[in-house]
């Protein structure tokens, strides 16, 4: 999986928490990530279990695609993740 690793301060983390809906929509976890051929521990957002089947809003999705494009990350993993979300059928 590809992504971008940022070094941020507590103020930026607080702003990001608001954007990501922490702690109700996403939670944070410290996970191993590969960076410049090394494994480091990084704080990452993980969707809360009750929200796994929720599709992202259009504005949020546009922001993700824009970030991938800005950092030359192939967007195939976005499409793969979206394909795993069940389609909701209205009654």
Q: Is the pLDDT of residue 89 over 70?
A: no
- Are 45 and 65 found together in one domain? no
- Are 26 and 59 found together in one domain? no
- What pLDDT does 91 receive? 43
- Are 9 and 41 found together in one domain? yes
DSSP string, the chain: ---------HHHHHHHHHHHTTTTTEEEEEEEEEETTEEEEEEEEEE-GGGTTPPPPHHHHHHHHHHHHHTT--THHHHHHHHTSPPP---
pTM (2 d.p.): 0.77
Domain range for 21:
1-49
Residues 49 and 25 sit within 8 Å (Cβ to Cβ): no
Q: Who wins on pLDDT, 36 or 84?
A: 36
Bridge partners, 37 (sequence order): none
Averaged pLDDT for residues 62-78: 95
- Are 72 and 39 found together in one domain? no
Which tens digit of pLDDT belongs to each residue from 26-66? 999 999 999 999 999 999 999 898 887 778 889 989 999 99
Question: How many domains, in total, are found in the chain?
Answer: 2
- Are 8 and 27 found together in one domain? yes
Averaged pLDDT for residues 10-33: 95
């Amino acid at each position: 999986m590809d992504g971008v690793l940022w070094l941020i301060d507590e103020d930026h983390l607080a702003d990001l928490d608001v954007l990501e809906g922490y702690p109700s929509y996403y939670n944070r976890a410290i996970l191993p990530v590969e960076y410049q051929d090394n494994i480091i521990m990084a704080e990452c957002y993980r969707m809360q279990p009750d929200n796994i089947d929720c599709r992202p809003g259009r504005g949020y999705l546009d922001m993700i695609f824009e970030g991938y494009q800005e950092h030359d990350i192939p967007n195939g993993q976005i499409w793969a993740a979206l394909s795993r979300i069940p389609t909701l059928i209205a009654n």
